[in-house]
Amino acid sequence: MKVLIAGGGIGGLTAALALLKRGIEVEVHEQAQALREVGAGVQISPNGARVLYELGVGEAVAAISCENEAKEIRLWNTGEAWSPFDVVARSAEIYGYPYFTVYRPDLLGALEAAVRAADPGCIRLGRKAEAFEQSGDRVVLRFTDGGTAEGDILVGADGIHSIVRRQLWGEPAARFTGMLAWRGVIPMERLPRHLHRMVGTNWVGPGRHVVHYPLRRGELMNFVGVVEGVDWQVESWTAQGDRGELHRDYEGWHADVHSMIAAIETPFRWAFLARDPLPVWGQGRVTLLGDACHPTLPFMAQGAVQAIEDGFILARALSEIPSAEPALRRYEDARRDRTARMVRGSNENATRFHNPELAHAEGAAAYVAREFAEEKVRARYDWLFTYDVNTVPV
Ligand X SMILES: Cc1cc2nc3c(=O)[nH]c(=O)nc-3n(C[C@H](O)[C@H](O)[C@H](O)COP(=O)(O)OP(=O)(O)OC[C@H]3O[C@@H](n4cnc5c(N)ncnc54)[C@H](O)[C@@H]3O)c2cc1C
| Positions marked catalytic | 213
Among 149, 260, 290, 332, binds ligand X (CB under 6 A): 290
132 binds ligand X (CB under 6 A): no
Our finding on whether 394 is near ligand X (CB under 6 A) is: no
158 vs 256, beta carbon nearer ligand X: 158
- Name which of 215 and 307 has its Cβ closer to ligand X: 307
66 contact partners, CB below 8 Å, separation of at least 6: 100, 101, 102, 198, 213, 214, 215, 216, 217, 218
Taking the least distance from each CB to ligand X, the nearer of 38 and 60 is 38
Closest approach of ligand X to the CB of residue 360, in Å: 27
- Give yes or no for residue 301 binding ligand X (CB under 6 A): yes
Residue 377 parent element (H or E): helix 374-385
CA distance 48 to 69: 19
Q: Whole-angstrom Cα distance, residue 325 to residue 317? A: 10
Task: Select the span of 274-282, 294-302, 331-339, 380-388 touching ligand X (CB under 6 A).
Answer: 294-302
Question: Which among 68-76, 81-89, 154-162, 321-329 is the span making contact with ligand X, rule CB under 6 A?
Answer: 154-162
Rounded to whole angstroms, the Cα distance separating 293 from 162 reads 8
Name the one range near ligand X by CB under 6 A: 84-92, 147-155, 244-252, 297-305. 297-305
Please select the residue that binds ligand X; options are 307, 318, 327, 342, rule is CB under 6 A.
307
Report, in Å, the least distance between residue 361 CB and ligand X: 28
Task: Tell me the C-alpha distance between 115 and 28, whole Å.
Answer: 10
Q: Using CB under 6 A as the criterion, what x/- string covers residues 175-204 for binding ligand X?
A: ------x-x---------------------
Question: Minimum Å distance from CB 369 to ligand X?
Answer: 25
- The residues, any chain, with a CB within 8 Å of residue 188's CB and separated by 6 or more, are 196, 214, 218, 219, 220, 221
Under the binding rule (CB under 6 A), the answer on residue 298 touching ligand X is yes
Helix 303-320 vs helix 10-21: angle between axes, to the nearest 10 degrees? 30
Of 37 and 325, CB closest to ligand X: 37
| Distance (Å, whole) CA 257 – CA 250 | 8
> How near is the Cβ of 362 to ligand X at its closest, in Å?
30
Q: Assess 216 for contact with ligand X (CB under 6 A).
A: no
Asked if 12 touches ligand X (CB under 6 A), the answer is yes
Does residue 39 interact with ligand X by CB under 6 A?
Answer: no
Could you tell me where the beta strands, DSSP code E, fall in 206-342?
208-215, 220-228, 268-274, 286-288
CB of 8 to ligand X, least distance (A): 5
Spatial CA neighbour of 218 closest among 201, 197, 203 = 197
Distance CA 28, CA 37 (A): 16
Across 282-304, b (16+ Cβ under 10 Å) vs e yields: bebbbbbbbbbbbbbbbbbbbbb
Considering the rule CB under 6 A, would residue 287 count as an interface residue with ligand X? no
* 249 is an interface residue for ligand X by CB under 6 A: no
Q: State the nearest-atom distance from the C-beta of 366 to ligand X, in Å.
A: 27
The beta strands (E) that lie in 146-219 are given as 148-151, 153-156, 175-187, 199-205, 208-215
Output phi, psi for 45, to 5 deg.
Answer: -75, 170
Please give the size of the binding site for ligand X, defined by CB under 6 A: 34
Residues that bind ligand X (CB under 6 A): 6-12, 29-32, 42-43, 128-129, 157-160, 163, 181, 183, 224, 270, 290-292, 298, 301-305, 307
